[in-house]
Chain A
Amino acid sequence: MSWRGERWRAELVAVWAFALRSLLMASRNIFFFFELLFWPVVGVLSIGLLTKFLHLGAPETSFVLIGTIALSTIQVCQLEVSYAVLYDVWSKSMKHQFLAPIGVRHLTTGSWIVGVVRGLLVFVLLAVLARWAFAFDVLAAGVWALFLFLLGCFLTAWIIGVVVCTLIVQFGTRAEASAWATVNLVLVLAGIYYPISVLPRPAAAVASAVPLTYFLDAYRTHYGFAAEFPMAVPTGLGLSLAYLALSHWSLVVAIQRARRNGQLLKMSG
C-alpha cells in the first residue's frame, strides 16, 4: 500500500476505534436504553396528546411534532459525541488516548457515526409512533426534504457535542451538566415548538445564527408553513460547516491548553 493509502487506512482505523468503543459501551449500559427509547417516546406522546387536548389542526400538530422528534434525535446523537470525552473523564483514562497519535477528528467522527446510527433509530421509532398515534407522516415532505432535515439535525448534534467536549476538557467534571443542558438551550433558540418570529428581537437574532433554525424552517415549509428564510438549506449547511470547523478548532485549543495547565493529567488516574 502506498504511503498515502496507508495514512488513509490509519485514519479510518482510528475513527473506527472510537466508533466501536461507543457501540460497545452503549450496548452494555441500561441508561442508553432509556436515552434511546423511554425519554423520546415519553416526549412524543406527551406533546402529541397536548396537541389533541388543545384541539390543534393537522398543520400545527405536525409543526410541534417535527420539533419534538428533532429534539430527541439531536439529543441522542449529541450525547454520543459528548460521551467520547465523558467516558474518559468518568473512567479517568483521558491521558491514554491523548498519548496516542490521534487528532480530535478521530474522536468526534467515530462517536458521531454511532450517534447518527442511534439518532436514526430514535427517529424511525418516533416517526412510526407519531404516524400511528397522531397521523403525522414524516415522509409527507418527500425523501429528499427528510434527508436534508436529518442531515441538519445530525450536523447540529455534532456541533453541540464537540462544544460540550470542549467545555469538559476546559473545565473538567464541573462542565458535565452541559452535556445535557446545552442542547436544550440551542433548541429553544432554534424555534423547536414555534416559529422564531415569536421570539423577542434579540433572541430571534441569535436564533438566526443557529443552523437548525434553517433546517426546521425548510422542512416545515413542506407541511404548509410559509418559509421564514430564503435559501434556508444552503444557509443552514453553510453555518453548520462553519460551526463544525470552529467547534473542532476550539476543542483542539482546549486540549492544547489542557496539556499546558495539567488539566489532562487531572482528568486521568
Chain B
Amino acid sequence: MSAIVARDVAKTFRAGWIRRRVIHALRGVTLDVPRGAIFGLLGPNGAGKTTLLSILATLLTPDRGTVTVLGHDVVREATELRHRLNMSTGNASFLWSLRAEEILGFYARLYGLSGRRLRRRIDELIELCELGAYRRVLYNELSTGIKQRLALAKSLVNDPELLFLDEPTLGLDPDVSVRIRRRIATLRRERGMTIVLTTHYMREAEELCDEIAFIKGGLILAGGTAAELKRQFALGDVIVFRLDPPTATWLADVPGVLRYAEADGRVECVVDEADKRLPALLDALHAEGVVVRDVRVSEPELEEVFVELAR
C-alpha cells in the first residue's frame, strides 16, 4: 500500500513585477512511495526536490495534478493530514529566545499535547535525540549539530506516520551526520514510519533509502532501488583483473559484461552482477589459458548515477 501517490504534479513560480520571471519548478511529477519505506529524492540544486517535498507536506499547493498522502488529498484534506505528518529541514530555524524544551513544548501543543502527556513526550524526544544537556539552553546558543537534532526532535512531536526530511545532514560534521542517519534508520525500524528525504549526499541515500528517485528540471528522470538504478544506467559492478598475457578483449562478448576497458596493464570489466558473473569470467580465462595474477571487485557508487543524470 502506498503512503504517497502523486500524479502529474506541476508547480510554477512567478516573480517580479516589471521583469516577470517564470520558474517551472515541477513539470509533471508522478511518484509512489510505499508505506514504511525510506524514500530518497536526489537531484542537483534547483531540481525541484524541496518544492515536491513541500507539496507533499501541504506547505505548497500544486498548480496541476493530484496528490494523495496517507489516503488524504493534500489540498482538500490538508488539516486532517497535518495531524499525521511532520517535517525537519536542514538549516532549520526556530525562535532565538526560546530554550530547546520550550521549542518542543510549543510545537507539541500545536498538536494538542498538554499536561503529563506533553511533559512525557518532551522527555522522550530529548532522550531520543540526546538533547539532555541542552534542554534549558537558548536556541541561539546551540551549535549547528544540536540545532539539527532539535529540528529532528521537533519533527517527531506528534509521532508522525510520515516524516519528511529535507537535507537532514546538510552542513554537519561527519560524526554528527552518522548519528543522525542512525537515528533515522531506527525510527523506521522501531516505529514503522514512512520517511521521505531529500539529500545531496549519495552515500546517505544509498545507506538509508529503500527506493530513490532522481529529479532534475522538475521531472523525475529515474527511480528504483540503488541496485536497480546502477543497473539501469549500466553502472554495474566493476571487476579489475591483472592478467598474463595482459589483454583479453574477447571478455567483452561474455554474457553479463557491460563494458570492457584496459588501463595501466589492468583489464576492467563492468558487469551487471559481480557475484553471478565472476565465476564464469574466471572459467573463461582459465579455458583460454590466461593466468589471473590478481582480481578485485568493487561496486559502483550511486554518485555515478547522479553524475550521469545531472549532465
A101 contacts partner chain B, Cβ-Cβ < 8 Å: yes
Size of B's binding interface in residues, CB under 8 A: 38
Binding site for A on B (CB under 8 A): 13-14, 50-51, 54, 57-61, 79-80, 82-83, 85-87, 89, 91-98, 102, 105-107, 109-114, 154, 158
The minimal Cβ–Cβ distance linking A191 to chain B, given in whole angstroms, is 37
A contacts with B: majority SS = helix
The minimal Cβ–Cβ distance linking A92 to chain B, given in whole angstroms, is 4
A260 in complex: contacting residue of B61, B93, B106, B158, CB < 8 Å: B61
0 or 1 for each of A228-269: is its CB under 8 Å from B? (1 = yes):
000000000000000000000000000010011110110011
Contact, CB under 8 Å: A97 / B110: yes
Measured CB to CB, the nearest residue on chain B to A95 is B59
Contact, CB under 8 Å: B93 / A92: yes
- Complex CA–CA separation, A35 to B85 (angstroms): 39
B154 in complex: contacting residue of A13, A28, A29, A96, CB < 8 Å: A96
In the complex, chain B residues whose CB is within 8 Å of the CB of A268: 89, 93
Contact, CB under 8 Å: B112 / A10: yes
Contacts A95-B59, A260-B61, A264-B60 given; does A13 touch B91 at CB 8 Å: no
The minimal Cβ–Cβ distance linking B153 to chain A, given in whole angstroms, is 12
Contacts A95-B59, A265-B54 given; does A29 touch B97 at CB 8 Å: yes
0 or 1 for each of A81-102: is its CB under 8 Å from B? (1 = yes):
0000001100111011111111
In the complex, chain A residues whose CB is within 8 Å of the CB of B80: 101
A25 in complex: contacting residue of B57, B82, B95, B107, CB < 8 Å: B95
A259 in complex: contacting residue of B14, B61, B91, B95, CB < 8 Å: B61
Contact, CB under 8 Å: A99 / B57: yes
In the complex, chain B residues whose CB is within 8 Å of the CB of A97: 107, 110
- Pairs A–B under 8 Å by Cβ, sample size 20: A9-B114, A14-B110, A20-B109, A21-B102, A24-B97, A25-B95, A29-B97, A91-B94, A93-B93, A99-B58, A99-B59, A99-B86, A100-B110, A101-B83, A259-B60, A260-B60, A261-B13, A262-B60, A264-B59, A265-B54
